[in-house]
Amino acid sequence: MALIAGAKGANEFSTSNMYTSLVVNGRQCFSCVTYSSLWLFLLR
């Protein structure tokens, strides 16, 4: 039973970890796009 509970907890942890990495990557991508658009605006 403990093994099943541990596997379930690990599965939930990996799911939340995936969501966290998605949010972090989304923030980095957003800041990168903002930075690039600022550069294009300045270089224009």
**pTM listed for this prediction:** 0.45
Residue 16 has pLDDT above 70, yes or no: yes
| Average pLDDT of span 9-22 | 76
Of the chain, the percentage scoring pLDDT greater than 70 comes to: 73
Q: Phi/psi at 10 (nearest 5 deg)?
A: -65, -40
12 Cβ neighbours under 8 A, 6+ residues apart:
none
Q: Provide the residue ranges of all domains of the chain, joining segments of one domain with +.
A: 1-44
Task: State how far the Cα of 23 lies from the Cα of 19, in Å rounded to an integer.
Answer: 6
Is residue 5's pLDDT more than 70?
no
* 36-40: long-range contacts, CB 8 A cutoff, minimum separation 24: none
